[in-house]
Amino acid sequence: MEILPERIRTIREGVPGTGVVAYWMSRDQRSGDNWALLFAQETALRHKLPLVVVFCLADSFLGATLRQYGFMLQGLEKVARSLEKLSIPFFILRGEAPETLPGFIEQSDVSFLVTDFDPLRVKRHWQDEVARKANIPFYEVDAHNMVPCRFVSDKKEYGAYTIRKKIGRLLKRFAVDIPVPEKHPYPSGLRGTPVDAGALLRGLKIDRSVKEIDWITPGEDYALRALDGFLEERLGRYGADRNDPLKDCQSDLSPYLHFGQISAQRIALGVMKCRAAGLSGDAFLEELIVRRELSDNFCLYERDYDSFSAFPEWARRTLDEHRGDRRAYLYSREELESSKTHDDLWNAAQREMAARGKMHGYMRMYWAKKILEWTASPEEALSAAIYLNDRYELDGRDPNGYAGIAWSIGGVHDRAWGSRNVFGKIRYMSYNGCASKFSVKRYIKKVSRLNG
Ligand code: FAD
Ligand code: FO1
């Protein structure tokens, strides 16, 4: 099985144990199209060893609520079932990896450890702690990006235009089909954790005030169906209609991508196949590959990706110059959260996110920029936007979110524009600008019909 070496990073050479090979699954929560699982299986086959998958289930991960955990655990229940069919036992360890994984490695005398790539600080801390406590061979595989993040670039990219060139040169090489994992021939004799999403959900210490959503079904099986539906019905008009919140033309794949229930490479291969039918898909691939991988690049090379210090120098300067500007409106986080501003369009966007768990992509820009305009400082705007985004969005707590909010509020991956009150040279978006693109009234009406 050909796994491109550029996807694999040796975290630690270590001394192999004599027991099972373990894939510590975290970001890429799927049994199919998963390069980390495939590399773990290749290692186990080479050494004629059993293979197991482990997931460390933390409480309140970055403030995640019932809404996100419900979606994730139902997806993991399906992962456990598909892995059992492949004779690969699946274990859920309760608690953060640094506390739970070393013990598991000890007990099962794990020989080789594989994990998937995630640029978020908390994940890198987990990885560092596990590497410190267990001295077995430990590998990281980028199963999330079509072109591996660490390989595309060894530094923070300025914007889409710089990373696009680098990705463009490598795309052909990585746009390969993904092998299927095989039924594992070396039994471990271990029984995995029976995964009952409901029971696990009840046992978690989490905020239960943000209700689960029902318009999307979790799991890698439904993710692939959603992809087919998008390719058939909406890809063709994505370029023209993607920025119109009334045209309902986004893919709705972000919750599946965020929890790794679908592979971006699988999506891209599907889009490329549509070329034969005359559909270009370029606008979609630009978002799925260039924009998404730019976000991973941002979080990988900018440790403080959720702080003012991560903004480019020109943006920090211009925002500093305008700190003292009078704010025409000032809202507290509570007023924002309960959609109590003077702006009915903004209130509708907030309500769409709170009720549906997914705000339209175009509205997210307007939504975040208004938070900059109506709070006392860029730092307060940043923390309010991240808090609300990660509390209500199904796809929250994601590099795309930190990069999207930093773009909106701090000009990350953007350029300077004409200067104005509060914003300085940060790109401005206005109510009338939205109204010139779609019917604001109809969007407000559409959102008012959402329950929740
Ligand atoms: P589609 O338009 O169908 O795009 C398909 C995929 O391409 C998306 O799932 C995503 O992986 C990628 N993509 C699309 N637009 C962007 C973008 N601007 N930046 C990076 N990747 C992109 N995305 C999240 O996944 N989680 C978040 O928490 C999040 N918060 C955001 C906050 C703000 C203020 C902004 C401006 C953007 C945010 N985004 C976030 C990026 C983008 O809005 C969403 O990825 C997209 O709307 C998800 O819906 P979709 O999958 O139907 O999108
Ligand atoms: N990853 C884990 O390894 N363990 C968890 O318990 C966990 C919970 C969780 C809850 C909400 C959420 O949005 C993400 C969560 N993640 C968890 C991380 C997720 O798998 C992604 O890796 C990152 O959030 C995106 O980079």
Given ligand 2 and candidates 27, 92, 201, 206, which is best to mutate, with the most ligand atoms within 8 Å of its CB?
27
Using the atom order of ligand 1, give the atom closest to the CA of residue 395: 26
Q: How far is CA 93 from the centre of its chain?
A: 22
Task: Please state, in angstroms and as integers, the Cα–Cα distance from residue 89 to each residue in 44, 51, 140, 186, following that order.
Answer: 14, 8, 20, 12
Residue nearest to atom 41 of ligand 1 (CA): 400
Confidence of residue 2 (pLDDT cuts 50, 70, 90): confident
Q: How much of the chain exceeds pLDDT 70, in percent?
A: 100
Confidence of residue 1 (pLDDT cuts 50, 70, 90): low
Q: How far is the CA of 258 from the centre of ligand 1 (A)?
A: 10
The per-residue DSSP string of 175-231 comes to: ----PPPPPPSS----------HHHHHHTS--B--S----SS--SHHHHHHHHHHHH
Residue 228: what pLDDT? 98
- Give yes or no for residue 451 having a pLDDT over 80: no
- Give yes or no for residue 452 having a pLDDT over 70: no
- The amino acid that residue 98 corresponds to is P
Task: Please state, in angstroms and as integers, the Cα–Cα distance from residue 175 to each residue in 116, 169, 256, 264, 268, following that order.
Answer: 19, 12, 20, 11, 8
Given ligand 1 and candidates 287, 346, 350, which is best to mutate, with the most ligand atoms within 8 Å of its CB?
287
Residue nearest to atom 42 of ligand 1 (CA): 361
pLDDT in tens, 115-130: 999 999 999 999 999 9
Residue nearest to atom 19 of ligand 2 (CA): 27
pLDDT in tens, 101-114: 999 999 999 999 99
Query: Residue 101 and residue 198: Cα distance in Å, rounded?
Result: 23
Residue nearest to atom 26 of ligand 2 (CA): 398
The stretch 405-433 carries a mean pLDDT of: 98
C-alpha triplet 114, 261, 354: angle, nearest 5°: 125
Q: What is the pTM assigned to this prediction?
A: 0.98
| Range with lowest mean pLDDT among 1-10, 153-162, 261-270 | 1-10
Number of the ligand closest to the Cα of 122: 2
For 251-288, b/e burial (b = at least 16 CB within 10 A) is bbbbbbbbbbbbbbbbbbbbbeebeeeebebeebbebb
Mean pLDDT of the chain: 97
Output the ligand 1 site: residues, CB below 6 A. 242, 250-254, 257-258, 287-288, 291-292, 295, 361, 364-365, 368, 389, 393, 395-396, 398, 400-401, 404-405, 408
Q: How far is the CA of 219 from the centre of ligand 2 (A)?
A: 15
Residue nearest to atom 1 of ligand 2 (CA): 26
The stretch 294-321 carries a mean pLDDT of: 98
Residue 418: what pLDDT? 96
Task: Check: CB of residue 376 under 8 Å from CB of residue 330.
Answer: yes
- Give yes or no for residue 281 having a pLDDT over 70: yes
- Give yes or no for residue 164 having a pLDDT over 90: yes
Output the ligand 2 site: residues, CB below 6 A. 26-27, 56-58, 61, 64, 68-69, 72, 118, 120, 259, 396-398
Tokens found for residue 313: 């120098």
- Give yes or no for residue 195 having a pLDDT over 80: yes
Residue nearest to atom 34 of ligand 1 (CA): 405
- Give yes or no for residue 317 having a pLDDT over 90: yes
- Within a 10 A sphere around the Cβ of 176, how many other Cβ atoms? 12
The residues pairing with 9 across neighbouring beta strands, listed in sequence order, are: 140
Question: What are the structural domains of the chain?
Answer: 308-450 (1.10.579.10)
Number of the ligand closest to the Cα of 146: 1
Number of the ligand closest to the Cα of 372: 1
The stretch 255-282 carries a mean pLDDT of: 95
Number of the ligand closest to the Cα of 407: 1
Q: How far is the CA of 201 from the centre of ligand 1 (A)?
A: 27
The stretch 90-100 carries a mean pLDDT of: 98
- Give yes or no for residue 303 having a pLDDT over 70: yes
Given ligand 2 and candidates 57, 71, 72, which is best to mutate, with the most ligand atoms within 8 Å of its CB?
72
Tokens found for residue 290: 């260039």
Query: Residue 399 and residue 437: Cα distance in Å, rounded?
Result: 28
Residue 277: what pLDDT? 87
Residue 426: what pLDDT? 98
Using the atom order of ligand 1, give the atom closest to the CA of residue 253: 51
Q: 24 in helix, strand or coil?
A: strand
- The amino acid that residue 162 corresponds to is T
Closest CA relative to residue 100, chosen from 92, 90, 88? 92
Q: How far is the CA of 87 from the centre of ligand 1 (A)?
A: 36
